[in-house]
Amino acid sequence: MAKIIIAGAGFAGHYAALILQDSLKKLDNNHQITVVSRVNKFTYIPSLVWVGVGDMEVKDVQFPLKPVYDRLDIDFVHGALTEVYPDDNQVKVELLEDTKADKKLSYDFLLIATGPYLNFEATPGLGVEKGFTASICSPPHAVDAYKRYISTLDRVLKGDKVKIVVGTGHGTATCQGAAFEYICNIHNDLVRKGIRDKVELLWLSNEPALGDFGIDGLEVKKGNDIFTSQMLVDALFDEYNINYEIRSHVHKIDEKKIYTENVEGEFKEINYDFAMLIPPFKAQPIKFVNKDGEDITEKVCNPAGFIKVDANYGKPYEELDGPDWPRYYQNPTYKNIFSAGIAFAPPGPLSKPSKSPNGTLISPAPPRTGYTAELSGKAAALNIVEMIKGNDPIHSASMAETPGLCVASLKKSIFTGEAVTIAIYPVARNYSKYPEFGRDLQMCAAEIGMAGAWFKFFLHYAFMYKLQAKPGWKFIP
């Protein structure tokens, strides 16, 4: 009997648990799956943008995990994985229910999919608890963002003009797409309320180009013409009257101003009344200890704490290519440890990094959320099944071989809604296979329209159904 521990229950970890349970029940032996998670609910993160503007409630984006796992005969531990002893195949978990205590669990295979630590501390004044800005990265944060947003609009209704800033709060932040959705939904909410002319909207981002989104942008071929995501976003922001500052790092924030530096080395002070800025991510803190009691975290993880997998690390950006991205999500030192979703260490950025003349790094981190997280979790789970059967890993989900799909909401409405639908193949440019653009432009698309809004609705309810493992869930891609 194999014991498998999955740390984390987001897109990567939770979906991996469902795939493992479905795959292992077809084998002869009884196998034990244990999910360890700091949160006891699954959250459909893409819909938090709607919570942040008051168009959806938190209860509509979450469901409790334990009833799902009980039904599938998966053990659930509400706790935080704090230490791994890879030579002994054990982990230490800090229990979060009933009593604060530590518990050691044994494993034959370990999949780490713990998601990000929201590193608000990287920018003084950034964040909800100790800073001055809002966030939509978690359910409590999204609720708080809506309260701050409505409070700002109260001032508008009293006759004030206000400035709202949305974007990234650090030069190395990721998830520009979520912030893009948020500022567009705010615009349309202000239009609906009849007060758009009283609010200045500013997009503040570390992207090297407008519409880059941390994925090095997108090209789409239509006939003999090539259109880019930069063209799309530029036209949309022009239509929405959204100003923008890109290629910018945020140094600090106070109650009234955001202090930035751009790649030209210019320092600016941006006044604001309400700001929602995405923080940089680092890994959830996990310590790795060998059989001699030595801390070997630096051997297993990169400097940000993300787990090293079968990627080609150390290459400069200009030399990175598709084959350098991980395929199996297996740690090269400890073959029975896998990592997926945001928890795995990428070989480098997707977008070209920059430094200001002052040495400030302005480089969007590669997004590894949503569909990409799900695919990597599935691949890791299936490779664990292969190893249980005595085989080597064979299931690949390289970001340089798999598609990306993003439906960015602009306005939530069944009858007048709009969204940007983006399909990209592959996510990471693969010049070894597609020499001209690194991508197959015949497989890339970008469209704005009501159909995208309907598709966004469908994805929300389809995934909420699928990830509760309800009847027929396996037929939903």
pLDDT of 16 strictly over 80: yes
Cβ neighbours for 131, distance < 8 A, ≥ 6 positions apart: 120, 123, 124, 125, 253
pLDDT of 29 strictly over 80: no
Q: What is the pLDDT of residues 258-290, one digit of tens each?
A: 999 999 999 999 999 999 999 999 999 999 999
- Residue 97: predicted pLDDT: 76
Q: How far is CA 287 from CA 1, 81, 86, 90, 411, in A?
A: 27, 9, 11, 12, 43
Q: What is the pLDDT of residues 232-259, one digit of tens each?
A: 999 999 999 999 999 999 999 999 999 9
- Min mean pLDDT across 66-70, 221-225, 337-341 is at 221-225
For the chain, what is the mean pLDDT?
A: 96
Distance CA 435, CA 321 (A): 11
- Residue 99: predicted pLDDT: 63
- Residue 300: predicted pLDDT: 98
Q: Work out the pLDDT band at 27, boundaries 50, 70, 90.
A: confident
Identify whether the C-beta of residue 169 lies closer than 8 Å to the C-beta of residue 73.
no
pLDDT of 98 strictly over 70: no
pLDDT of 464 strictly over 70: yes
- Residue 364: predicted pLDDT: 97
- Min mean pLDDT across 26-30, 58-62, 371-375, 454-458 is at 26-30
- Residue 100: predicted pLDDT: 66
Please state, for a pLDDT cut of 90, what percent of the chain lies above it. Answer: 95
Q: Which of 404, 349, 369 is nearest to 207 (CA)?
A: 349
The amino acid sitting at 376 is: S
- Residue 453: predicted pLDDT: 96
- Residue 213: predicted pLDDT: 96
- DSSP conformation class of 40: S
Structural domains present in the chain: 3-117+282-388 (3.50.50.100)
Please state, for a pLDDT cut of 70, what percent of the chain lies above it. Answer: 99
Q: What is the pLDDT of residues 292-323, one digit of tens each?
A: 999 999 999 999 999 999 999 999 999 999 99
Distance CA 308, CA 316 (A): 17
- Helix, strand, or coil here: 171? coil
- DSSP conformation class of 340: -
The residue written with tokens 């880019």 in the block is 228
Q: How far is CA 471 from CA 10, 71, 381, 466, 468, in A?
A: 21, 12, 21, 8, 9
